[in-house]
Structure 1
Amino acid sequence: MADLSAFPITQKWVPQNPDVLQLFSFPTPNGVKVSIALEEMGLPYEAHLVTLSDADVKSPEFLSLNPNNKIPAIIDPDGPDGAPIGLFESGAILIYLAEKTGKLIGDTGADKAKTLQWLMFQMGGLGPMLGQMGFFVKFAGSEWEDKRPQKRYIAEGKRLLAVLEKELDGKEWITGQFSIADIAIAPWLNALAFYGARDAVGWDSHTNLVAYLDRFMSRPAVEKAMNIPPRP
């Protein structure tokens, strides 16, 4: 049995089976990236619910694994050097899992480069910008009298959607084959409904994206993983 005692997080979220990968997460757009990848890749894992409350994400135990106090994070008892490894940042975890399994990262060097290109597009642009838009459309920012921030993020959201809409013309998936880039991108597109922002960005006019998200959400692994760990 793997010894994960070197990871203080396991004192608060105790593994039932320390021999399998441990996922510490919550089903947000970033959180479900990893549960979807694990389901798609067929890796055995154990999911631990880490709420977004300070009591969890700012606890000493969670900070010991992710000093940036954000979900998701993982511990792989079967690390690349024969020892357990802990990781945070959803994009880094996706790359790690894809390289570990040899799945969903492309068959050639060129495929991998393009997959990572679109993964970085999500990490550096789509996710942060749509997240800010959500703040100004649905949450506290929506109450501000000054609507310039809201307009700024809606405009940027529209621009990013236009990039994806054009790229998906004639393709089922962002690089042509299903990959971790799609696993990163699609949950953020799905979040537009949660933010109540579909009308603001003209979602229905993006016919390629509408079909793309429908394809993604209908995958059995995605349907299962969208609520892993289950919400309380």
Structure 2
Amino acid sequence: MFTGIIECTTKVCKLNHDKKNLFITFINPFLDEIKINQSICHNGICFTVININIYEKTYSVIASEETLFRTNLNFLKIKDEVNLERALMIFGRLNGHLVQGHVDTTAQIIKIENRNGSWLFYFKNRKKLDYTIIEKGSIAINGISLTIITHTKYIFSVSIIPYTYNKTNLHLLKVGDIVNVEFDIFGKYISKYLKYYDSFIKRTILK
């Protein structure tokens, strides 16, 4: 479990395909603070560390076919910068919101507005935004805990302050880029319950 508060960014060193899996090697900014089997969130994707090279100061993870399908990893290139967050400590402060590191879908940046000190990012989602999103609710974009400003059926916007803009890879993104999206876990459970309840009511009435 994560909070969406990015610790730092790092760069991709190597990309190696093996059948339907993708092995990714990153520069290790945590030095000796991480270990094999540890979970780290990369651009919103929870990966398990499978190898650490202390001499090259790198570590590696593996992405499965499902992860490649759900996320923007197919656009990843050598030297790309990704957001990092280590797992939440059980007694730590929850500064953002609960983030699983399980990407739901991807969205495309369709507009970036400079608001004289902050930025408004507009995204077009791949699927209809039904009960999973509300204004002033939480959402994770590339692993960053953000607050939704506006939304329609497919488009939503978030406001970015200078600290977040400069500390994450948001300052490197442009219109047309694809980002990872994780909806609020509570919203997803409520959405599923409402769909089930609606279906149950319809079946009951028909009987």
> One fold, TM greater than 0.5?
no
More strand by share: 2
TM-score range, shorter chain: 0.3 to 0.5
TM-score, reference length from structure 2: 0.33
Q: TM-score, normalised by structure 1?
A: 0.31
